[in-house]
Chain A
Amino acid sequence: MIIENEYPPYFEWLLAAGINPGALWIWLLTVFCLLVVGLLASFIVLTARHGPAKAGDLIFKALAGVANDVVHTSPRRVYALARLAVQEAIRRRVLVGFMLFILILLFAGWFLDPGRTDPAKLYLSFVINATSYLVLFLALVLSAFSLPADLQNKTIYTIVTKPVRPAEVVLGRTLGFAAVCTGLLVVMGVLSYAFVVRTLDHTHSLTADDLAPKAPTENGTVPPNRTGTTARHRHEVKSDQIKRLAEEGQAVTETEQGHYHEITAVTRDGVTEYRLGPPLGQLKARVPVRGTLSFRDRGGKPAEKGINVGNEWMYHSYIEGGTPAAGIWRFSGVTRDHFPNGVVLEMAIRVFRSFKGVVDQPILGSITLRNPDTRVEHLLENFQAKEYAVDQHLVPLELDNLEDPQGPKIDLFGELVSSDGELEVEIRCLERAQFYGLAQPSVYLLRREGTPWVNFAKGYVAIWLQMVLVTAFGVMWSTFLNGPVALLATLGSMVGGFFVTFLQSLALNRSLGGGTFESLIRIGQQKNLTEQLEQNFTSAVAVGLDKVTRIPLFVVSRVLPNLRELNDVQYVADGYDISADLLAIHLTTGLGYFIPVLLLGFLFFKLREVAK
């Protein structure tokens, strides 16, 4: 698989990105709108109870109080309250969650299939998801029940009768629980990484017989030389590597399940033994260089998009095989400094077959490199599109001249890359009536391999961010709701956060099958999503109610954090480096939610009576 979400550079995202006005301005506008709406609603309610003058006075005092609290917040008091929260969390057996995690790891091996195409992805996504759900659950329970318990036990009396500001109580709790969960997360992260590395570690047997030339089978094919089977797979050893092994005593196996092994030949007392090292290239953190994609239609003319082959995941545009139709990527920053050993091209191309053909036979395509300035081009190779896998191609510094094999080699940077470091890569499908599905991230240059454990840690930063937000929401709700209700409210915020995109589609009436009420009728009448509803009173009422609920849904979908988007598990599992830009965007987004949620918590706690 390939990561398809693209993010602009951080400052472009923050201040302005293309037609988007910039995240900061959207945030300020949203906060301003919510503030105005909140103030108006408070003013109306308070006016009804106390009259306009008193209402204005109360609102002013509340806002001034919160501002005053924020300004006079004492780090020492916040630290004391955070420390208390940590002690409380430990007393509330938070470590049980940790024990549960250990149990999950111990028995995970029973349920995870090591024979999958990409076991690293399976194990990584498993441990990250397990950690994520456990930590989020702990954060949820800790944060939602703490303040209500203090209010119920009246221990809060001895706190708020000290010079402690409501802001400090809320901030202390939030930071304390976040600290506990952070500690757990760090330990779980280290254990998870050790678990993944340890579980993926294996080797294979290899004997002289395995490397001996094989006799052809009945149908004339020569079986490959392969290692012994471990973890439900084995590796082929190509003849050139067998030759290298004999000459240099070192060779490598073919890649299987996303990894390969180094082979070392050791001769002792005239007997040669072959040893395979640990799996290599299994955990990746690829740093891609993305290009911009343009198309050429079947007539060879520039086109904005390819063909739509139906509802086959609209994200991809398709090009028709056996025609001049092509997808052309233009990459910038292709310099000798960045790619000293040649350019590694990686691609994940979709295939759409208009006829079945030989199903297990890949569809043929071609890769052409072109200098955008001089238009000099070179056919790199014809390839077979591997679906659902990342296919790697090396563009060496000097390429063979296919048109004139005796002539001089083609210099990659001298001839195919423009003077300002630009390179075009053209992909075509060569088989008639078959199609390639392309999207901008489908082809990229591999700039370098990042450090897998650092990338893993970055993935945990994303979980940490989710946890901090859940904690902040939990504490905020618990400032005025009792424990179970605060838990439900936080859970609701979490679930809403994970389904923000769906909520937005409901709010904007882009969801198939209509809104909540219309869907209810469909369920009752057993109608599918596309079927027209009967025009009657009930359906009219349902559609009307959906229209009304769209407004609060729109507000909720705009206000809740998109927790799914903040989660970078996919990057780590698929072996892509989480860029500094992406990390900064997510951290800033988290902060953008954290601050208003905290301020709301301050306000709610300040406005409530602590005693009953």
Chain B
Amino acid sequence: MMQSQAVALEAPPGAAQPTGTDVIIETRNLSKIYRDFWGRQKVRALKALDLEVRRGEIFGLLGPNGSGKTTTIKLLLGLLFPTSGQALVFGKDASDVTKNERIGYLPEESYLYRFLNAEETLDFYGRLFDMPPEVRRQRTADLIHLVKLDWAKRRQLKEYSKGMTRRIGLAQALINDPELIVLDEPTTGLDPIGCREMKDLILELRDRGKTVLMCSHLLADVQDVCDRIAILHQGELKELGRVDSLLKIRDVTEIRASGLSDAAKEEIKSVIARHSGQLVSMDNPTSTLEELFLSIVQDSEARPGRRARVEQ
């Protein structure tokens, strides 16, 4: 889906390289209570959230539906006002619109004006950043190319499929070459190839020094790209840390080797037994469905017309 575009994704001149220590997002005791018309409490969506997202990392907010992920993002973007506590982005209060100069936001459903076409959409959002016309035109062309929508750039968004809408949504989020990219369920509506490309792009953005905050309930996506995650449940922070250390099973050892004979395998089993270890499994690993799908599509693109091999 996405092509690597140096122009479109370049870090702004003078932008800090990832140091891992600059705090981009900070929440202090952030709470949100939804109330009804009469001011009565309806839902306590977020309870005293303390969080820090550092420059250059991909931070994932995880949790089931209604856990407070989207509320947190809305509070950080100033779409909601906190009931108590504070949300700071680039050291500024979330209600300060000047912070938005450095933010790109892809909402859950790509809420865009369906009567505009791709070019008009990007041009419109470019204007909101007070961009000069020539810069706007250049970035519009680059981003449309990046999200591979050149062929549909003059079509109104109402004619777009869900995947295409996500792509143009992503392009609008990148129009200002933001330092912080907030992605709400970024892979929703994308096919497996689109998902893979979205994940690759997120990683590429990180490599270019951008900070990414994403929320998703697709755990595999989060696991694939996030450096750190926070797990929310019923508005409370339940877990926070690096993905690799959180997922590491410390008392299980995994050895992967190829070309072993049956005798060698038996010998390994005996070694484990000798050291009082417990063999959990010794099997041929399986690939993921995503990997299988991607390899088939790549193969099909390389050799068009080849029939599928049917296995009963």
Which A residues have a C-beta under 8 Å from some C-beta of B? 74, 76-77, 79-81, 83-84, 87-88, 91, 153-165, 609-612
Closest B residue by C-beta to A156: B111
**Which residues of B are found within 8 Å of A88, using beta-carbon distances?**
113, 115
Stretch of B127-135, B142-150, B239-247, B255-263 at the chain-chain interface: B127-135
Residues of B within 8 A of A87 (CB): 113, 115-116, 120
Say whether B128 contacts A80, CB under 8 Å: yes
Instruction: Tell me whether B97 and A163 are in contact (CB under 8 A).
Output: yes
Pick from B80, B81, B103, B128 the residue with the most CB of A within 10 Å: B128
| CB–CB B127/A165 < 8 A | no
Q: B79, B113, B128, B130: which contacts A611 (Cβ < 8 A)?
A: B79
Instruction: Determine whether the beta carbon of B111 is less than 8 Å from that of A155.
Output: yes
Contact status B111-A158, CB under 8 Å = yes
- From known contacts A155-B111, A157-B79, infer whether A611 and B127 are also in contact, taking CB-CB under 8 Å: no
Q: Which residues from B are CB-within-8-Å of A161? A: 77-79, 100, 103, 105
CB neighbours (8 Å) of B115 from chain A are: 87-88, 91
- Is B127 within 8 A of A609, CB to CB? no
Instruction: Encode B136-173 as 1/0 by CB contact (under 8 A) with A.
Output: 00000000000000000000000000000000000010
- In the complex, B112 has a CB within 8 A of chain A: yes
Distance in angstroms from B121 CB to nearest chain A CB is 9
Instruction: Please give me the residue from chain A that is nearest to B75 by CB atom.
Output: A611
In the bound complex, residues from chain A placing their C-beta under 8 Å from that of B107 are 154, 157-158
Residue of A nearest to B76 (CB): A161
Q: How many A-B residue pairs have CB under 8 A?
A: 78
Structural contact, B79 and A74, CB atoms closer than 8 A: no
A48 to B58, CA, bound (A): 43
Considering residues B107, B109, B112, B127, which has the most beta carbons from chain A within 10 angstroms of its beta carbon?
B127
Partner of A80, one of B97, B103, B127: B127
Sample of 25 A–B contacts (CB below 8 Å): A76-B127, A84-B113, A84-B116, A84-B124, A87-B115, A87-B120, A88-B113, A157-B79, A157-B105, A158-B112, A158-B172, A160-B77, A160-B79, A160-B97, A161-B79, A161-B100, A161-B103, A162-B100, A162-B125, A163-B100, A164-B97, A609-B79, A610-B79, A610-B80, A611-B74
- In the bound complex, what is the Cα–Cα distance between A607 and B125 (angstroms)? 24
Would A163 and B111 count as touching, CB distance under 8 A?
no
Task: Tell me the bound Cα distance from A214 to B125 in angstroms.
Answer: 81
With a cutoff of 8 Å between Cβ atoms, the chain A residues found around residue B125 in the complex are 158, 162
Which residues from chain A contact B128 at a C-beta distance below 8 Å? 77, 80-81, 159, 162-164
Q: Smallest Cβ distance from B124 to chain A, in angstroms?
A: 6
> Does B98 make an interface contact (CB < 8 A)?
yes
**Shortest beta-carbon distance, B209 to chain A, in Å?**
21
A609 and B124 contact, CB distance less than 8 A: no
Contact of B101 with A by CB under 8 A: yes
Contacting A at CB under 8 A, from B65-113, are 74, 77-81, 97-98, 100-101, 103, 105, 107, 109, 111-113
- Give the chain A neighbours of B77 by CB distance below 8 A: 157, 160-161
Are A609 and B130 closer than 8 Å at their CB atoms? no
Please pick, from B81, B109, B127, B176, the residue contacting A154 in the complex, using a CB distance under 8 A.
B109
Query: Which residue of the partner chain B has the closest CB to A159?
Result: B128
What A residues does B113 contact at CB under 8 A?
84, 87-88, 155
CA distance A74 to B105 in the complex (A): 21
B residues whose Cβ falls under 8 Å from a Cβ of A: 34, 74, 77-81, 97-98, 100-101, 103, 105, 107, 109, 111-113, 115-116, 120, 124-125, 127-130, 172, 176
Q: Determine how close the nearest CB of chain B comes to the CB of A83; give it in whole angstroms.
A: 8
Q: B103, A74: Cβ atoms under 8 Å?
A: no
A165 to chain B, nearest CB (A): 6
How far in angstroms is the closest Cβ of chain A from B182? 8
CB proximity of A273 to chain B, nearest CB, Å: 61
B101 in contact with A163 (CB, 8 Å)? yes
Residues of B within 8 A of A162 (CB): 100, 125, 128-129, 176
State whether A77 and B79 are in contact (beta carbons under 8 Å apart), knowing that A155-B111, A158-B107, A163-B98 are contacts in the complex: no
Residues of chain A with a CB closer than 8 A to B34's CB: 612
CB distance from B83 to the nearest CB of A (A): 11
Bound together, the chains give a CA A160 to CA B116 distance in angstroms of 18
Which of B79, B103, B130 sits near A76, CB closer than 8 Å? B130
A609 touches B100 (CB 8 A): no
CB pair B130 A154 closer than 8 Å: no
Tell me the smallest distance from the CB of A532 to a CB of chain B, in Å.
45
A79 to B115, CA, bound (A): 18
| Pairs of residues from A and B, 10 with the lowest C-beta to C-beta distance, nearest first | A80-B127, A611-B79, A162-B128, A154-B111, A91-B115, A161-B105, A163-B100, A155-B111, A611-B74, A163-B101
CB atoms of A157 and B111 under 8 A apart: yes
Check B127 against A153 for contact (C-beta < 8 Å): no
Chain A residues whose C-beta falls within 8 Å of the C-beta of B120 in the assembled complex = 87
Q: Determine the distance from Cα of A81 to Cα of B120 in the docked complex, in whole angstroms.
A: 12
Is the beta-carbon distance between B105 and A611 smaller than 8 angstroms?
A: no
Residues of A within 8 A of B130 (CB): 74, 76-77, 163
Cβ contacts under 8 Å, A91 to chain B: 115
A351 to B79, CA, bound (A): 68
Asked if A160 contacts B78 (CB within 8 A), the reply is: yes
Q: Which residue of A is nearest B104, CB measured?
A: A161
| Complex Cα gap A611–B111 (Å) | 13
Q: Which residues of A contact B78 (CB under 8 A)?
A: 160-161, 610
Q: What distance in Å separates the Cβ of B106 from its nearest Cβ neighbour in chain A?
A: 9
Distance in angstroms between the alpha carbons of A607 and B113 in the assembled complex = 24
Min CB distance, A608 to chain B, in Å?
Answer: 9
CA gap between A165 and B120 in the complex, in Å: 21
Q: How far is the CB of A58 from chain B (nearest CB, A)?
A: 11
Residues in A whose Cβ lies below 8 Å from that of B103: 161
Which single residue of chain A is at the shortest CB-CB distance from B70?
A611
The contact of B80 among A79, A165, A611, by CB within 8 Å, is A611
Residues from chain A with a CB closer than 8 A to the CB of B127 are 76-77, 79-80
Whether A609 touches B80, Cβ cut-off 8 Å, given contacts A76-B130, A163-B100, is: yes
Give bound CA distance, A88 to B112, whole Å: 12
Q: Would A153 and B80 count as touching, CB distance under 8 A?
A: no
Shortest B7–chain A CB gap in Å is 21
CB distance from A562 to the nearest CB of B (A): 34
Chain B residues closer than 8 Å to A610, beta-carbon distance: 78-80
Cα–Cα distance between A164 and B129 once the two chains are bound (Å): 8
Task: State the Cβ distance, A147 to closest chain B Cβ, in Å.
Answer: 14
- Known pairs A77-B130, A91-B115, A158-B125; A165 contacts B79 (CB<8 A): no
Which of A156, A160, A163 has the most CB atoms of chain B within a 10 A radius of its CB?
A163
Chain A residues whose CB sits within 8 angstroms of the CB of B79 once the complex forms: 157, 160-161, 609-611
Identify the closest chain A residue to B182 (Cβ).
Answer: A161
Residue of A nearest to B109 (CB): A154
Distance of A610 Cα from B97 Cα, bound (Å): 13
List the B residue with the shortest CB-CB distance to A164.
Answer: B128
Contacts of B101 in A (CB 8 A): 163
- Enumerate chain A residues within 8 angstroms of B81, measured Cβ to Cβ: 609
Report the separation of the CA atoms of residues A612 and B111 in the bound assembly, to the nearest whole angstrom: 15
How far, in whole Å, are A586 and B103 apart by their CA atoms in the complex? 45
Chain A residues contacting B124 (CB-CB under 8 Å) are: 80, 83-84
Chain B residue nearest to A166 in the complex (CB):
B97
For residue B176, which residues in chain A have a CB less than 8 angstroms away from its CB?
162
- Expressed in whole angstroms, the minimum distance between the Cβ of B154 and any Cβ of chain A is 15
Shortest CB-to-CB span from A152 to chain B, Å, is 10
Residue of A74, A157, A610 with most partner-chain B CB within 10 A: A157
Report the minimal beta-carbon distance from A89 to chain B, rounded to whole angstroms: 10
Q: How far is the CB of A318 from chain B (nearest CB, A)?
A: 60
| B120 to A, closest residue via Cβ | A87
Cβ B105 vs Cβ A163 within 8 A: no
Cβ–Cβ contact A158 & B105, under 8 A: yes
Distance to closest chain A CB from B85 (angstroms): 14
Q: How far is the CB of B279 from chain A (nearest CB, A)?
A: 53
Set of chain B residues within 8 Å of A81, measured between Cβ atoms: 128
Q: Which residues of A contact B116 (CB under 8 A)?
A: 84, 87
Q: Which residues of B contact A158 (CB under 8 A)?
A: 105, 107, 111-112, 125, 172
Question: How far is the CB of B115 from the nearest CB of chain A, in Å?
Answer: 4
Given A77-B130, A79-B127, A611-B74, answer yes or no on A165-B112 (Cβ-Cβ < 8 Å): no
